[in-house]
């Protein structure tokens, strides 16, 4: 990571000196990058650290969902709804036993009607959720950063075209258009890969103007700074200035925005799946589980709570971590 | 000022026009890629004979060039048209005509008119709740930054932002409808007919929706308020000997709320027609429910109508906010 130029801010450094002297005794004042300062601040934010650990666990579960469910011994695709292996009450089709059929073999119980294992379904749901959230965030970033950079750096007609386009996109009823687009594509093909791609596209594409506006605003102010003038007077090309002088200075806000966009898109995927236009069975999705649970929650509330809690904990972890990151990277922050 | 308003209105019309083109392309062009005649998505079945199919294709104009089809769609909305299936008497459909749902045997316009009050009730009631709740929590938090109240308020709002309505909604239903039995029969009734039933049917959806937005507004109010309270004129107001109450309410909150008014207008505008999830959870027959239902039925004229109405609501909200902002804030160049 290259060192952001011109951002060796005084507040952080003096704070650093005070800290160092109290911790390790007196020593010479060393210039620290914004990243070193931010990391110090983040480490002192317990909630953000805990959230970071939760995020790491979530990613591990998502990546190794197949291995973990093999170790655990139950695929969520196995249905325990026929005798003699049925785990359901034949009269009501609801899980046998307390709390939605929680037992030593099925740690979080089984689903009503089909009797699928909930824990392994949640693990694969984490995978779907994270794949869609991270790839659509990547798409938003790609579009938002490149277009925001072009608009803010070159200004003029490029800025007008890009800014107007973003304004128009922001005044679209994007949820309805997303639902419609997914539905029309589902008329054409039922391929799972295409389904994933379309969901990623609608979330990422309709979301890019938010990051685009932030990047444009940042670039507009940074391009007027002295160090950019200095680079230009030394004969640096536009491409070099953008890559070496401007991008490193907008990485902070982009990083914060990324950690706050991922949970939004997780909610987005869950919402689409809840409405039946996201991921459909047999692909596991937390939103789809909640939609199914909505039919039985009076009798089997456990089936509602588990995917709900999975969404809540994951989204909250990303939100707290993103907030912590913002505080840590903000030079004005007193934390 | 007049020039500013004219420019903004023209801009809004352009946006609505773009939405109409995109909606048209998705729905009129999309189905042709499926190798099924678009007739299917209008009437729900393909006529068994080739002649029958050709008859309907001609009637709906699917054989015309795209621009002619688009003009037919647009002119229907702008000037009205009369709808005919070639057998029964033509149905007059005055402007704004969004076509006819052959699945439901009803004019799309009538279906929209029936659904709109539900969505408007939902959005308006929730908006009042979240504005009051969010601004109160945000202000109190900002006045005592770092205090216990502030921490509870901000952690709570972070939690609320992380809870989807399709989780909080069923939990509210579970508690108040099934466990406590306070709201046993929650069918929607128009406010003009039965205000009490209307309130009963709306209270839980309002709470679920407002809970989410109040959290966003609390966070926003807090950060704006913290910034405002550090301004010089607040110190001046204090130095004049004004009471804390006057300083906070008249000087602080007033400045801190201006950006919130902008977002409030846009949020309410967005919600009309897009509260799909809330309406689905609470089984309210509003515009959002209508859209998802017509998508499931593959009833294209209806979903096109809902999309355009939702876009118009959003654009009008944007327009009102822009103009109000120019009136309130003298720094906006008119």
Cβ distance of A304 and B174 shorter than 8 Å: yes
Which of these, A77, A43, A141, A108, lies nearest to A308 by C-alpha position? A108
The answer to whether the bond into A282 is cis (omega within 30° of 0) is yes
Residue with tokens 């205090």: B147
Q: What is the pLDDT of residue A3?
A: 43
Q: What is the pLDDT of residue A5?
A: 43
Distance CA A173, CA A177 (A): 6
> Minimal Cα distance from B37: which residue of A?
A187
Cβ distance of A175 and B276 shorter than 8 Å: yes
Contacts of B130 (CB under 8 A, 6+ apart): B209, B210, B211, B212, B213, B214, B217
> Minimal Cα distance from B267: which residue of A?
A171
Cβ distance of A179 and B295 shorter than 8 Å: yes
Contacts of B262 (CB under 8 A, 6+ apart): B321, B325
Which H/E stretch holds residue A328?
helix A301-329
> Which residues lie across from B92 on neighbouring strands?
B82
Q: How confident is the model at residue A318 (pLDDT cuts 50, 70, 90)?
A: very high
Locate the domains of chain A by residue range. Answer: 47-329
Fold of A47-329: MetI-like fold (1.10.3720)
pLDDT tens-digit map of A249-303? 888 888 888 888 999 999 999 999 998 888 888 888 999 999 988 888 888 888 8
Mutation target among B170, B179, B275, B280 for the A interface, most CBs of A within 10 A: B170
pLDDT tens-digit map of A77-98? 888 777 777 777 777 777 877 7
- B22, B170, B277 member nearest A271 (Cβ): B277
Which of these, A11, A61, A53, A51, lies nearest to A32 by C-alpha position? A11
Count of A-B CB contacts under 8 Å = 123
> Which residues lie across from A95 on neighbouring strands?
A88
Q: How confident is the model at residue A201 (pLDDT cuts 50, 70, 90)?
A: very high
Q: What is the pLDDT of residue A82?
A: 75
Domains recognised in chain B with CATH numbers? 2-97 (no CATH), 111-328 (1.10.3720.10)
| Residue B38 scores a pLDDT above 80 | no
Distance CA A180, CA B291 (A): 9
Q: What is the pLDDT of residue A332?
A: 62
| Residue A335 scores a pLDDT above 50 | no
Average pLDDT over residues B161-170: 90
Helices (H), A73-191: 98-101, 118-154, 156-170, 174-188
| Residue B147 scores a pLDDT above 90 | no
**Is there a contact between A227 and A240 (Cβ–Cβ < 8 Å)?**
no
Q: How confident is the model at residue A23 (pLDDT cuts 50, 70, 90)?
A: very low
Q: What is the pLDDT of residue B330?
A: 62
Report residue A191 as tokens.
Answer: 């391929």
In chain B, what percentage of residues exceed pLDDT 90?
A: 8
Residues 249-268 on A with a CB inside 8 Å of B are: 263, 267
Is ipTM > 0.85 here?
Answer: no
Averaging pLDDT over each range in A39-53, A307-321, B8-22, B97-111, which range is the top one?
A: A307-321
Average pLDDT over residues B173-197: 79
In chain A, what percentage of residues exceed pLDDT 70?
A: 89
Cβ distance of B270 and A179 shorter than 8 Å: no
Instruction: Please list every residue in chain A whose beta carbon sits closer than 8 Å to the beta carbon of residue B19.
Output: 172-173
Residue B81 three-state SS: strand
Instruction: Please list every residue in chain B whose beta carbon sits closer than 8 Å to the beta carbon of residue A186.
Output: none
> Which residues lie across from B83 on neighbouring strands?
B91
Q: What is the pLDDT of residue A75?
A: 81
Residues 223-242 on A with a CB inside 8 Å of B are: none
Write the burial class of residue B211 (CB in 10 Å: 0-12 exposed, 13-18 middle, 19+ buried): buried
Write the burial class of residue A22 (CB in 10 Å: 0-12 exposed, 13-18 middle, 19+ buried): exposed
Mutation target among A171, A272, A308, A319 for the B interface, most CBs of B within 10 A: A171
Cβ distance of A176 and B178 shorter than 8 Å: no
Q: How confident is the model at residue B34 (pLDDT cuts 50, 70, 90)?
A: low
**Is there a contact between A227 and A7 (Cβ–Cβ < 8 Å)?**
no
**Is there a contact between B206 and B125 (Cβ–Cβ < 8 Å)?**
yes
- A175, A312, A323 member nearest B167 (Cβ): A312
> Minimal Cα distance from B163: which residue of A?
A312
Average pLDDT over residues B93-116: 82
Q: What is the pLDDT of residue A12?
A: 41
Cβ distance of B318 and A171 shorter than 8 Å: yes
pLDDT tens-digit map of A1-13? 444 444 444 444 4
């Amino acid at each position: 990571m290259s060192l952001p130029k011109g951002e060796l801010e005084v507040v952080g450094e003096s704070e650093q000196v005070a800290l160092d002297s109290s911790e390790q005794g007196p020593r010479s004042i060393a210039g620290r990058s914004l990243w070193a300062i931010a990391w110090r601040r983040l480490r002192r934010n317990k909630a953000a650290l805990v959230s970071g650990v939760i995020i790491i666990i979530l990613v591990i579960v998502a990546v190794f969902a197949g291995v973990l469910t093999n170790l655990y011994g139950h695929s969520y695709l196995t249905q325990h709804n026929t005798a003699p292996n049925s785990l359901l009450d034949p009269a009501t089709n609801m899980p046998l036993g307390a709390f939605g059929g929680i037992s030593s073999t099925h740690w979080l119980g089984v689903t009503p009607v089909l009797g699928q294992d909930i824990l392994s379904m949640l693990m694969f749901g984490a995978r779907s959720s994270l794949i869609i959230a991270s790839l659509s965030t990547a798409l938003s970033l790609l579009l938002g950063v490149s277009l925001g950079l072009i608009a803010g750096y070159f200004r003029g007609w490029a800025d007008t075209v890009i800014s107007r386009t973003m304004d128009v996109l922001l005044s679209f009823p994007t949820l309805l258009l997303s639902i419609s687009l997914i539905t029309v594509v589902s008329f054409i093909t039922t391929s799972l890969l295409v389904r994933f791609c379309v969901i990623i596209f609608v979330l990422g594409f309709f979301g890019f103007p938010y990051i685009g506006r932030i990047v444009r605003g940042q670039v507009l102010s940074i391009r007027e700074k002295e160090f950019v003038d200095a680079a230009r007077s030394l004969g640096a090309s536009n491409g070099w200035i953008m890559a070496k002088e401007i991008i490193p200075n907008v990485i902070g806000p982009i990083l914060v925005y990324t950690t706050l966009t991922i949970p939004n898109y997780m909610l987005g995927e869950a919402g689409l799946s809840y409405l039946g236009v996201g991921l459909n069975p047999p692909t596991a999705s937390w939103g789809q589980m909640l939609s199914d649970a909505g039919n039985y929650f009076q009798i089997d509330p456990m089936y509602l709570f588990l995917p709900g809690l999975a969404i809540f904990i994951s989204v909250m972890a990303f939100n707290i971590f993103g907030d912590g990151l913002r505080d840590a990277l903000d030079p004005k922050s007193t934390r | 000022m007049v020039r500013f308003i004219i420019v903004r209105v023209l801009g809004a019309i352009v946006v609505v026009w773009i939405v109409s083109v995109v909606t048209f392309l998705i729905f009129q062009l999309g189905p042709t890629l499926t190798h099924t005649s678009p007739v299917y998505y209008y009437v729900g079945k393909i006529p068994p004979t080739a002649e029958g199919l050709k008859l309907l294709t001609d009637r709906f104009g699917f054989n015309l060039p795209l621009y002619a089809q688009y003009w037919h769609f647009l002119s229907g909305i702008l000037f009205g048209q009369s709808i005919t299936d070639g057998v029964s008497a033509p149905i007059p459909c005055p402007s704004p005509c969004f076509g006819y749902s052959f699945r439901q045997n009803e004019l799309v316009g009538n279906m929209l008119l029936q659904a709109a009050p539900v969505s408007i009730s939902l959005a308006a009631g929730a908006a009042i709740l979240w504005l009051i709740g969010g601004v109160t929590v945000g202000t109190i938090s900002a006045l005592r930054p770092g205090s216990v109240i502030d921490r509870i308020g901000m952690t709570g709002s972070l939690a609320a932002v992380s809870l989807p309505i399709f989780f909080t909604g069923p939990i509210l239903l579970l508690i108040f409808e099934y466990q406590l039995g306070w709201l046993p029969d929650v069918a929607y009734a128009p406010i003009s007919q039965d205000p009490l039933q209307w309130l009963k049917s709306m209270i839980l959806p309002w709470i679920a929706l407002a809970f989410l937005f109040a959290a966003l507004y609390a966070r926003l109010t807090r950060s704006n308020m913290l910034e405002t309270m550090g301004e010089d004129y607040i110190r001046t107001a204090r130095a004049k000997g004004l009471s804390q109450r006057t300083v906070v309410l008249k000087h602080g909150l007033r400045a801190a709320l201006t950006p919130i008014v902008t977002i409030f207008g846009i949020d309410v505008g967005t919600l009309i027609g897009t509260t799909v999830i809330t309406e689905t959870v609470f089984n309210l027959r509003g515009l959002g429910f209508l859209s998802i239902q017509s998508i499931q039925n593959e009833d294209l004229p209806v979903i096109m109508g809902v999309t355009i109405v939702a876009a118009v609501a959003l654009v009008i909200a944007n327009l009102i906010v822009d103009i109000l902002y120019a009136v309130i804030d003298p720094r906006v160049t008119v």
